[in-house]
Structure 1
Amino acid sequence: MSERNGKRGALKSAGVAMLLVVLAGCSVTAPHGALPQPDSDTLNRLSSVAIQPGAQGAHAELRWWEALNDAQLDRLVERALQSNQDLAAAALRLDAQMARLDVARDQRRPQGGLSGNLNLSREQTAGSGLEVRRQESVSLGLSADWQLDLFGRIRAAIARAEAQLNYQQYSHEAVLAEVVNGVVKTYTQLSGTQRQLGVLEQQLSSLQESVATLRLRYEEGVATPLELYRAQALQHEYLARRPLLEEAAAGYRETLATLVGLTSDQLQLQLLSVALPTADSLSPVFNDPSHALMRSPELLQAQARVEQAMALSDGAKAALYPDISVSGVIGWLSASSLDLGDAREQLGVAPRLQWSLLNLSALKAGLNAAQFEEQAVLAEYEQTLLTVLNQADRSIQTWAARTQRLEQTGRRHQFARQAFEQAQARYEEGVLPYIEFLDAQRDLLESEDALVGVQTEWLNAYAEVYGAFPGNWVDALKQS
């Protein structure tokens, strides 16, 4: 009889083992869509327009703002990398997600610890008001529960935590690129605005002389009221420009101070003495434009969101299968007194299987929802890819257009200067009237104001190109 029972037990154990093997062999990974790839022709075209430098150019790409030869700007970028609060917050979120990943990975090991239990009870015997039975028990030991991740629940949770870690890492890179790019663009805009204010003061001085001269000529009967009124209207037009430029400068100063972790009154800058680069002295350089483009933090963030959605789909698929775990306890149990010296050893191991068969339809609906969400995130990734490619294309075209405009505006300024020099010489010879000399001076100042504005836009376009191809220089900053 005992032999028959032993055989039955062996058969049951073998059956359970076979069932576990079959279940473990089931596919628990949800089907995933392929990650959209960039159009090869577009990628090759964007890469072909970028300069392929040597070793010196590679360094210029990694610290591209140093090509502006502005030590003050270099110091501001370094301070922003050290003191910007958005950058510090992104780094802390990255550290927090690293800790969450450790928590997820820890679920692969047995869970449990020291446990104890004390039970004191009194029981009165039925039919007797005097007899009281007292029961005492105490237990102390170690208990553990180990989930056998046969169907990938824990693996899906770990994959999701890893994807979230990647997302936080790329978010940190995105903030890094935004801070550096923001410092360069805001600094150049502030510098350009301060230069325009300087040119405006020269224009106002010139107009003041013109108005004074025309008033005197009008009183002498040589000039007409129309000439005087037009000069005064132009003078007030320039006066109205001053508060606008001052307001813009204050806004740029505030933004720049925030980026570098200071208040506006703490930001001390010397801007008018900085020499702006010329069109032939500055050009973006890239060693590997394709890598720099495809390593865009914005694109990598979208890829991390796809990885999260895939992990959620895998977790929803694993939820369709049983949850199998093994629980165990080792310790001492005293059932008659509180004296552990009389306790007996306690050792037990028990398998546990949970399968939500009654909720199977809801679990399948959850899987369908996760897969639809994954398809939506894939579509968002493709949209982000198109945005990144189009922004890179636009930044290159903008750089080329603004370079041409800078060249033409520079020529205009050159001719305006030559015209002013001719007018000055003719005025000193007594051939040219004073009012025409002031007109030539005013035209020179207007061309200089236009040149400063175009130079500022041109430098912003230079920063936008590196903002569209951020992969290489952001990686270098992250590792430094």
Structure 2
Amino acid sequence: MSTTRSRPLAVLLLASAAPVLAAALSGCTMGPEYVSPLPPIVESKSYLDNGAKVKSPLKVLAGTTSAEPDAQWWRVFRDPILSRLEARVAEQNLDVQTASLRLRESRAQLGTAAAAALPTVNSASNAYRMQYSQNGIVSLIPSSTFGGGGTGAGGGTGGAAGGSAASTLGNPFESYTAGFDASWELDLWGRVRRNIEASEAMVDASAEQRRSTLVSVLAELARDYVQLRGIQEQIRIQEANAKVNQDILDIVRTRAKGGLVTGLDVASASQQVEGIRANIPQLQQQETQAVDAIGLLLAEPPLTLSQELVPSKAIPPVPPKVPVGVPSSLIIRRPDIRVADAQLHAAVAEIGVAEAEFFPTVTITGSPQFNALDPNKVFRGNSLQYMNVGPSISIPIFDGGRLKSNLVLVQARQQEAAIAYQKAVLQAWHDVVNALAALKGDEGRRAFLQRQVADARRGLALARTRYTQGVDTFTTVLQNSQNVLGAEVNLSQATANISTDFVALYKALGGGWETTFPDKPVPPLDLAAVTVPQGDLALKPDAP
């Protein structure tokens, strides 16, 4: 037996692959290296000081500091109900769960890309029985192949030997094979490495997209909660004004019985009361819708949160000091900026993948097997057989411009991703400044409305006194009553708007980070188990 046959298979594979392994170790990586771009904004002490010589009306905004905002910003409202609801969002919200599944998909795709850097090994074992036809190709085998062809009488010896060969090979026999097929593409030009890099960047993008979804849902829940409390405050205002105007109606009726006023004053006072009461059912409808909007964010059936949310509470107040940080910190907090950064990273890595396609592909393959006609001899050393062991090289020569067009495509996508990143950073800065402007504007409006409410209430009290004394007409009382109602409603809306502006500000700042997410989504909603309360769906009875 020759020395070559006695060598182990691993030695043969290593000897044949040594040149290409050396080339792989010294291989290069195509495409540019990614460096995260700096935010295209100017470092400054605040969002409202950009170094401009023109004085901005937002130059000084009372109640803001450059301190970094709290990730759990909703706690500054000091509302335990809101805090409990926000704590349930990451686990229960369906959009967050969907984003979690997309992150899982991205990680699976990364695993697929990473597998390309490792050898592929497939088992190839079989056992079969076969038989050759004696009248087929076996009959063409010369008798000399088996040592026949003697000089028997009439030369019959050779024919007998040939017949013996056909008879032997024509008998049924079994064959047993155990082995594997292996292949490994050498990443000489970094195509696989760049593809893994792009997949890792897309995993980062999916993770940040989930965080961005969470930030949006947290803000949406807080906004719905503030709007619910604002609606409940308006219901309280309507009920209080209905009671005040009911007292005025009682006074008018008493005066009418005494002949001091006409029935016109009674009709006007009664119309005012009924008009105010007519607003309450519509507000109760909005209250129900606001409760269900919060329930939908938490994947709860309709009216599930009614018992918790229907009891009226005050509109959550904005804290006196609002930390907003500095513009440069947005790149750390805003998930949409981090998504754009990761997508740009993936686009740059794809350029390396496209450039590597222009170069040869080197693959090491091998199919070692153990084969025997006797199953007891399959795994003996002399049963080893192998074929196609060694490197194969594929060189692109002509593809009709496909590779060049693909390179142009990925380069254009990289430029598009760079613009998207720049826009995301610029949009973030604008969002913060616009939210600050809205907060300042509504704070100023509320200050004027507070004085208006105080003046309207004093005017109504004076008009009632003058009317009771017979000095003034009921029209003056009616007008002042309407002024009080309108001013109080406007003040309530302005107060709710300030809290909503605060929520929008912290959404713009990228607030609402969460470190843990559920690995498994909650079970789907069982519609058969949903029960709707019988009777009137109004959450509150009409005012008397």
- TM-score in same-fold range (> 0.5): yes
Q: What does residue 8 of structure 1 align with?
A: none
Shift of 1:314: 2.1
Q: What 5-or-longer segments of structure 2 have no aligned partner?
A: 1-14, 51-60, 140-162, 519-544
More divergent stretch after superposition (236-245 vs 181-190): 236-245
Q: What does residue 366 of structure 1 align with?
A: 406
Cα displacement string for residues 335-365 of structure 1 (whole angstroms, at most 9, x for unaligned residues): x455535661235631111223232621111
More divergent stretch after superposition (85-94 vs 140-149): 85-94
Shift of 1:231: 5.0
Cα displacement string for residues 47-81 of structure 1 (whole angstroms, at most 9, x for unaligned residues): 8875134xxxx6x6232211112111111111223
Instruction: Please point out which of 81, 90, 107 is paired with 2:116.
Output: 107
Q: What does residue 66 of structure 2 align with?
A: 52
Q: What does residue 450 of structure 2 align with?
A: 410
Q: What does residue 470 of structure 1 align with?
A: 510
- The alignment partner of 1:269 has SS state of helix
Shift of 1:303: 2.1
Cα distance in 1 for residues equivalent to 2:222 and 2:171: 84
- What code does the residue aligned with 1:155 have? R
Shift of 1:179: 1.8
Cα distance in 1 for residues equivalent to 2:30 and 2:400: 15
More divergent stretch after superposition (110-119 vs 425-434): 425-434
Cα displacement string for residues 380-406 of structure 1 (whole angstroms, at most 9, x for unaligned residues): 333333322211111111111111112
* Structure with the largest fraction of helix: 1
Instruction: Please point out which of 85, 92, 110 is paired with 2:94.
Output: 85
Shift of 1:187: 0.5
Shift of 1:433: 7.2
Instruction: Please point out which of 415, 420, 426 is paired with 1:386.
Output: 426
Cα distance in 2 for residues equivalent to 1:401 and 1:39: 25
Matched-pair contact (CA < 8 Å) for 2:239–2:277: no
Indicate the structure (1 or 2) with the bigger Cα radius of gyration. Answer: 2
Q: What does residue 254 of structure 1 align with?
A: 292
Shift of 1:31: 8.7
Shift of 1:328: 3.0
From the superposition, tell whether residues 198 and 311 of structure 1 become closer, same or farther in structure 2 (CA, over 3 Å): same
Aligned 1:267-286 pairs, distance under 5 A: 267=305, 268-270=307-309, 273-276=312-315, 281-286=319-324
Instruction: Please point out which of 36, 56, 72 is paired with 2:81.
Output: 72
Cα distance in 1 for residues equivalent to 2:399 and 2:207: 37
Shift of 1:445: 3.8
- What code does the residue aligned with 1:385 have? V
From the superposition, tell whether residues 329 and 169 of structure 1 become closer, same or farther in structure 2 (CA, over 3 Å): same
Instruction: Please point out which of 111, 129, 133 is paired with 1:124.
Output: 133
Instruction: Please point out which of 136, 153, 176 is paired with 2:191.
Output: 153
Shift of 1:224: 6.5
Matched-pair contact (CA < 8 Å) for 2:127–2:175: yes
Cα distance in 1 for residues equivalent to 2:465 and 2:268: 26
1:323 to 2:332 alignment:
no
Matched-pair contact (CA < 8 Å) for 1:70–1:274: no
Shift of 1:372: 1.8
More divergent stretch after superposition (424-433 vs 113-122): 424-433
- What code does the residue aligned with 1:301 have? V
Shift of 1:407: 1.8
Shift of 1:207: 3.8
Cα distance in 2 for residues equivalent to 1:477 and 1:467: 19
Q: What does residue 3 of structure 1 align with?
A: none
Matched-pair contact (CA < 8 Å) for 1:203–1:442: no
From the superposition, tell whether residues 187 and 277 of structure 1 become closer, same or farther in structure 2 (CA, over 3 Å): closer
Percent identity between matched residues is 23
From the superposition, tell whether residues 325 and 293 of structure 1 become closer, same or farther in structure 2 (CA, over 3 Å): closer
From the superposition, tell whether residues 46 and 61 of structure 1 become closer, same or farther in structure 2 (CA, over 3 Å): farther
Cα distance in 2 for residues equivalent to 1:337 and 1:351: 33
The two structures, once aligned, show a CA RMSD in angstroms of 3.9
From the superposition, tell whether residues 183 and 413 of structure 1 become closer, same or farther in structure 2 (CA, over 3 Å): same
- What code does the residue aligned with 2:233 have? R
From the superposition, tell whether residues 220 and 72 of structure 1 become closer, same or farther in structure 2 (CA, over 3 Å): same
Matched-pair contact (CA < 8 Å) for 2:36–2:341: no
- The alignment partner of 2:385 has SS state of strand
From the superposition, tell whether residues 191 and 43 of structure 1 become closer, same or farther in structure 2 (CA, over 3 Å): same
Instruction: Please point out which of 63, 67, 87 is paired with 2:72.
Output: 63
- What code does the residue aligned with 1:269 have? E
More divergent stretch after superposition (214-223 vs 97-106): 214-223
Q: What does residue 357 of structure 1 align with?
A: 397
Matched-pair contact (CA < 8 Å) for 2:435–2:505: yes
Q: What does residue 41 of structure 2 align with?
A: 39
Q: What does residue 199 of structure 1 align with?
A: 237
What is the TM-score when the length of structure 1 is the normalising length?
0.81
More divergent stretch after superposition (84-93 vs 428-437): 428-437
- The alignment partner of 1:28 has SS state of coil
Matched-pair contact (CA < 8 Å) for 2:229–2:312: no
| Alignment size in residue pairs | 458
Cα displacement string for residues 446-470 of structure 1 (whole angstroms, at most 9, x for unaligned residues): 3222221111111000001100001
More divergent stretch after superposition (114-123 vs 74-83): 114-123
More divergent stretch after superposition (25-34 vs 403-412): 25-34
From the superposition, tell whether residues 196 and 111 of structure 1 become closer, same or farther in structure 2 (CA, over 3 Å): same
Matched-pair contact (CA < 8 Å) for 1:186–1:255: yes
Q: What does residue 6 of structure 1 align with?
A: none
Aligned 1:182-331 pairs, distance under 5 A: 182-210=220-248, 234-235=272-273, 237-267=275-305, 268-270=307-309, 273-276=312-315, 281-287=319-325, 289-292=327-330, 294-331=332-369
Matched-pair contact (CA < 8 Å) for 2:436–2:505: yes
- What code does the residue aligned with 2:231 have? T
Cα displacement string for residues 123-159 of structure 1 (whole angstroms, at most 9, x for unaligned residues): 2244869842556533212332111111122112211
More divergent stretch after superposition (219-228 vs 387-396): 219-228
Shift of 1:230: 5.5
Instruction: Please point out which of 334, 337, 340 is paired with 2:377.
Output: 340
Cα distance in 2 for residues equivalent to 1:293 and 1:216: 69
Cα distance in 2 for residues equivalent to 1:103 and 1:337: 40
Cα displacement string for residues 170-198 of structure 1 (whole angstroms, at most 9, x for unaligned residues): 11101211121111110010011011012
What is the TM-score when the length of structure 2 is the normalising length?
0.72
- What code does the residue aligned with 2:99 have? A
